Amino acid sequence: MAMTLILPQLLNGLQYGVLLFLLAAGLTLVFGIMSFVNLAHGSLYMMGAYFAATAFNLTGSFLLAVLAAVGGCIILGFLIEKLAVSKLYSRDHLDHVLATFGMVLFFNEITRIIWGPQPYFLPVPAFLENTVSLFGINYPAYRFAIIVVGLAVAVGAHLLMHKTRLGMLIRAGSVNPKMVGALGVNIQFLNALLFALGAALAGLAGVMAGPILSIQSGMGEPVLITALVVIVIGGIGSVSGAFYASLIVGIADTMGRAFLPMLLRELMSREVATAAGPALASMLVYVLMAVVLAVRPQGLFPTGRT
Amino acid sequence: MDSHNRALAALAALALAASPLANAEVKIGLSAPLSGSQAVVGQDQVDGFMLAIEQFGKKLGGQQVTVIKEDDQLKPEIGNQITRKFIDKEKVDAIVGLGFSNVLMASLKPLVESGTVAIATNAGPSLIAGANCAPNVFSMAWQNDGAAESMGKFVQDKGYKRIYLMAPNYQAGKDMLAGFKRYYKGEVVDEVYTQVGQTDYSAELAQLQASKTDAVFAFYPGGMGVNYIRQLSQAGLLNKIPNFSVFTVDGTTMPALRDAAIGTISGAMWDASLDNPENRNFVSAFEVKYNRTPSEYAATAYDAAQVLDVAIRKVNGKTSDKKAFASAVKAAGQEFKSVRGPFQFNINNMPIQNYYAFEVVKDGGKTVTRQIGTPLSKHKDAYLSKCGIK
């Protein structure tokens, strides 16, 4: 198959993967360290996109839009943690799911009340409107920028986790939170900080996705489900696991959508393949998750927790 | 209230009871998706309908009117409950809206059994146009395939030899592509079905780019359309591969698309830019009242109120004879002035109407649509022969 066909799909998969990573990183930290199931993480992503679009419509500056999304989500994250989440740590997972699912409904309605039901607009920044030439193919500059930002965040997250005191505490907390508390670390503050950090990454994902996707009520749910698949595959609580799993899921999903229908067409009649191809492609990441759960239930790249 | 007033009121009541206008108040049930991802469609329907009622002085056909609004949540079972409530509990004279095709289909049985006049403003599924057609069930919108058929004709007439087709993987997506192919006779390079609600089209667009097609035709309603068109534009494909679509670039998605939609061509039976006196009045009144441009969904609901106005006048407000009222609605179809130009109900109660081609262009710094053709005039749907109404 021609390189000009495979390379753009690889880049697309990579771009989808890093976007997933921004969400999955926060989700896996909160789940792995605080043992808290946060379904409202997708809502933070949606709110980030809305904050960005509002800031852009008011000021016309994409940079301010990014700041509004990240800053707004940090504040929102702190508020959610303080008002609701911190009260729920001691409860079991079912209560977490119920409470955060309630938040999902709340945020979906509040965006509809404030911003209305029609999709909202955030343009691609002018300097990224064109396409870049890479190995003989043209690729949208903005998507390329997402890959660069996503990889930069991944490197930053790696440095944070492995080279700083905070990262050491986070890693320690993910292995044995009680011991970290017993050593005199303010675990409540650490939790709030982690939650806000996850919210900031979700907000960043929201603003990065804003110019590609339609910003509308409920945009957080589909991507949240995929992010949950990512952290299950990667191993809960592991940031590097979330990174590798994001890329695996992103590339598998994109490649599946692009080439599975083609492949099926070689094997069966055109009509059956046209019907079965998209259905199978959309199942692919879930099949992948099921296989990982069957073979390595702790995930592909688990943390050291026993 | 003093005795004088009471006597007056009693007299008035007597006078009303004696007059032919026995049915002094008309009750309309209006159902639409008012929450969830398609709430923008439902809101436009409610706003379009209420605008017309307001223009008639809160009356229809000279009668005081009460409108009961319900949210079908895009769920067939909820739509069915609402329809039953309208018929059994509220005893409405007519039901307007009735949601998307799947929601309408779920309501069909109680509608047919009760004989209550039903005017769908958002759907015209092939079954209701064909085998399951009923004398009291009308579509004020379109037979579902119409717009796609018009684009098939348009692309055929423009002489494009090879076409690439894209739609979400569900019934409406398949119907649209089937409708397109009914009138397009060239080569179909590929027919791609994507997941319903898919947000990222990068993989499909890379395939499209590699296919070396002459043009592409797509059906992506709502948020999917915003994603598809913007990603097409960002990939630099819009100015390389001519883009034709239906229900993708319209009043509901334009606020989020803006310049990204420039150059796209859409097939529809109506657009805000359509130039006739009724439409100019409608669009400007809508813009003044709601501060946004109406979509085709607002236009169909507005037209539904116009038809009801004529029909209720025809029966002198006596909507209790359901059969006579349904015939009046049918006759009113060719008497009222539609915002979309020529209109009448076919034998199967589907619209006979024009389908136009619209292009999005930049005009003096503003992004606007402009009519560039009328591929199908006074078009009739393909399912008429299966309908048993004579």
Q: Give me the residue from B207, B224, B258 closest to A258, CB to CB.
A: B207
Q: What is the pLDDT of residues A17-29, one digit of tens each?
A: 999 999 999 898 8
Q: Are residues B178 and B249 in the same domain?
A: yes
Residues of A in contact with B292 (CB under 8 A): 118
Q: Does A211 touch chain B (CB under 8 A)?
A: yes
- Chain B residues with CB inside 8 Å of A261's CB? 192
Q: Helices (DSSP H) in chain A: which residue ranges?
A: 3-34, 41-59, 62-83, 93-115, 141-163, 165-175, 177-182, 187-209, 220-234, 239-267, 270-295
B82 and B210 housed in the same domain: no
Q: Measure in Å the smallest separation between the Cα of A63 and chain B Cα atoms.
A: 19
> Does any domain span residue B328?
yes
Structural domain contains residue B259: yes
Give the chain A residue nearest B170 (alpha carbons): A275
The amino acid sitting at A239 is V
Q: How many structural domains comprise chain B?
A: 2
What are the pLDDT digits (tens) for A240-278? Answer: 899 999 999 999 999 888 888 778 878 877 777 777 777
**Pick from A166-175, B228-237, B346-355: least confident:** A166-175
Tell me which of A6, A10, A257, A264 to substitute to probe the interface with B (most B C-beta atoms closer than 10 Å): A257
d(CA A27, CA A195): 9
Determine the pLDDT at residue B390: 63
Query: Residue B122: CA atoms inside 13 Å, Cβ hemisphere, count?
Result: 33
* End-to-end Cα distance, chain B: 55
Residue B18 has pLDDT above 60, yes or no: no
Beta strands B162-168 and B94-97: pairing type? Answer: unpaired
Interval A203-219: pLDDT, tens: 999 999 998 888 888 88
* Nearest CA-CA distance, residue A72 and chain B, Å: 22
Contact B206 A211 (CB under 8 A): no
Inter-chain residue contact A278 with B194, CB threshold 8 Å: yes
pTM of the model: 0.81
Say if the Cβ atoms of A121 and B199 lie within 8 Å.
no
Closest in A9, A116, A211 to B203, CB measured: A9
Say if CB B117 and CB B328 are below 8 A apart: no
A57: contact with B, CB 8 A cutoff:
no
A302/chain B closest Cα distance in angstroms: 29
- Say what the pLDDT of residue B134 is: 94
Same domain, B174 and B294: no
**Cα(B39)–Cα(B45) distance, rounded to whole angstroms?**
10
From chain A, the residues in CB contact with B39 under 8 A are: 112, 117, 217
Compare CB distances from A12 to B199, B206, B210 and report the shortest one's residue.
B206
Q: Does B390 fall in a domain?
A: no
CATH of the domain at B333: 3.40.50.2300
B12: its two tokens: 């008035």
Decide if A279 and B197 are in contact by the 8 Å CB cutoff: no
Q: Which of residues 221-240 of A touch B (CB under 8 A)?
A: 222-223
Instruction: Single out the residue of B45, B39, B55 nearest to residue B284, CA to CA.
Output: B55
Of the partner residues B40, B206, B227, the one whose CB lies closest to the CB of residue A213? B227
**Cβ-based contacts of A134 with chain B (< 8 Å):** none
Residue A306 scores a pLDDT above 50: no
Q: Does one domain contain both B218 and B261?
A: yes
Most confident of A79-83, A268-272, B252-256: A79-83
User: What range defines the domain where residue B196 resides?
Assistant: 146-268+355-385
Of B40, B199, B236, the CB nearest to A138: B236
Confidence of residue B6 (pLDDT cuts 50, 70, 90): low
Residue B350 maps to a domain = no
Q: Is A143 on the interface with B (CB under 8 A)?
A: yes
Phi and psi torsions of B75, nearest 5°: -115, 125
How near does any CA of chain A get to the CA of B240, in Å? 13
**Strand partners of residue B25:** B64
Is residue B363 over pLDDT 80? yes
Determine, for residues A140 and B226 on separate chains, whether the beta-carbon distance falls below 8 Å: no
The closest CB to that of B203, out of A131, A216, A258, belongs to: A258
Kindly state whether residue B176 falls inside one of the protein's structural domains: yes
Confidence band for A301, pLDDT divided at 50, 70 and 90: confident
Q: Which residues of B touch A281 (CB under 8 A)?
A: 195
Of A12, A130, A215, the CB nearest to B203: A12
Token digits for B363?
Answer: 């005009």
Q: Which residue of A has its CA nearest to B174?
A: A275
Looking at chain A, which residue has its C-alpha nearest residue B226? A214
Instruction: Indicate the DSSP class of residue B163.
Output: E
Handedness of CA B334, B339, B342, B343 (dihedral sign): negative
- CA angle B249/B255/B259 to nearest 5° reads 70
Cα B213 from Cα B140, distance rounded (Å): 36
Among A213, A217, A278, beta carbon nearest to B169: A278
CA distance B69 to B46: 8
Same domain, B186 and B57: no
Contacts with A223 from chain B: Cβ below 8 Å: 199
Please indicate, yes or no, whether residues B229 and B370 belong to a single structural domain of this protein.
Answer: yes
Q: What pairing do the DSSP bridges indicate for beta strands B137-139 and B162-168?
A: unpaired
**What is d(CA A153, CA B90) in angstroms, rounded to the nearest whole number?**
58
- What is the residue-averaged pLDDT of chain A? 88
Mean pLDDT of B72-98: 94
At position A109, the amino acid (one-letter code) is E
The arithmetic mean of pLDDT across residues A95-118, rounded, is 91
B21 pLDDT band, cuts 50/70/90, is very low
B155 shares a domain with B303: no
Answer yes or no: do B199 and A217 touch at CB < 8 A: no
C-alpha torsion A236→A241→A247→A251, nearest 10 = -60
Contact A118 B252 (CB under 8 A): yes
Mean pLDDT of B160-187: 93
The string of DSSP letters for A45-99 reads HHHHHHHHHHHHHHH--HHHHHHHHHHHHHHHHHHHHHHTGGGTTTS-HHHHHHH
| Bridge partners, B28 (sequence order) | B67, B94
- Residue B1: pLDDT band by 50, 70, 90 thresholds? very low
**A118 part of contact set with chain B, CB < 8 Å:** yes
Report the distance separating Cα A86 and Cα A123, nearest Å: 37
Q: What pLDDT sits at residue A8?
A: 84
DSSP β-ladder status, A131-134 and A137-140: antiparallel
Calculate mean pLDDT across residues A173-202.
86
Using one digit for the tens of pLDDT, what is the confidence trace for B51-70?
999 999 999 999 999 999 99
Same domain for B239 and B333, yes or no, is no
Q: Quick check: A140 and B204 CB within 8 A?
A: no
One-letter amino acid at A201 equals: L
The complex's ipTM? Answer: 0.74
Quickly state the pLDDT bin for B329 (edges 50, 70, 90). Answer: very high
Residues B181 and B226 in one domain: yes
Domain check: are B176 and B259 in the same one? yes
Q: Which of A214, A224, A254, A270 to mutate to test the interface with B (most CBs of B within 10 A)?
A: A214
Written as six digits, the tokens of B132 are 């399951």
Residue B19 has pLDDT above 50, yes or no: no
- Residues in chain B whose Cβ is within 8 Å of chain A: 35-37, 39-40, 42-43, 169, 191-195, 197, 199-200, 202-204, 206-207, 209-210, 222-224, 226-227, 230-231, 234-236, 252-253, 255-259, 292
Nearest to B37 among A116, A216, A223 (CB): A216
Question: Is the Cβ pair B199, A222 closer than 8 Å?
Answer: yes
Nearest to B269, CA basis, from B305, B304, B296:
B296
Amino acid at B345: F
B203 to A4: CB separation less than 8 angstroms, yes or no: no
Say if the Cβ atoms of B255 and A121 lie within 8 Å.
yes
Same domain, B82 and B132: yes
pLDDT at B203 over 70: yes
Interacting residues of B254 by C-beta distance below 8 A, sequence separation 6+: B261, B293, B360, B367, B369
At residue B350, the pLDDT reads 96
The verdict on B281 and B213 lying in the same domain is: no
